[in-house]
């Protein structure tokens, strides 16, 4: 009678290496190990496998923590800083680091918050440019 294969024997070597690295990261618990894990995961897992792993990890957290984690991973700009000295320079700096969703949300919110005169001036300004589709 043949023995039933263990999970370790049933897994592909690339999966075992990824799982082993995850174990090292949990044991070490330092930032350098976790940063190294992303390199190993990119080398050993498919994009679909990494997406499934990310989804499982994010759904294991409370929504606020999951959102903050995803924003950090995506290098999102977060809320714009207050513009103390260089209003437009600060805004451009923030926009250079913002995600597409952040840009859309803050642009619409800022437009909605403008008085009608400023909205009209803004509309005239953006109408001067050819919009790329």
pTM of the model: 0.54
DSSP category for residue 84: S
Is the confidence at residue 79, as pLDDT, over 70?
no
- In this structure, the chain runs to a length of 133
pLDDT of 89-122, one tens digit each?
A: 878 888 888 888 888 998 999 999 999 999 999 9
C-alpha distances in Å from residue 58, one per residue of 8, 73, 100, 130: 26, 11, 20, 39
């Amino acid at each position: 009678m043949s023995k039933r294969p263990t999970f370790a024997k049933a897994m592909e070597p690339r999966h075992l290496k990824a799982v082993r690295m995850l174990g090292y990261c949990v044991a070490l618990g330092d930032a350098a190990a976790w940063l190294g894990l992303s390199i190993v995961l990119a080398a050993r897992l498919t994009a679909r496998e990494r997406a499934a792993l990310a989804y499982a990890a994010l759904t294991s957290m409370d929504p606020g923590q999951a959102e903050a984690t995803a924003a950090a991973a995506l290098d999102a700009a977060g809320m714009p800083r207050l513009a103390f000295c260089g209003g437009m320079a600060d805004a451009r700096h923030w926009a250079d680091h913002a995600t597409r969703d952040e840009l859309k949300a803050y642009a619409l919110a800022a437009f909605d918050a403008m008085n009608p005169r400023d909205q009209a001036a803004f509309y005239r300004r953006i109408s001067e440019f050819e919009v790329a589709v």
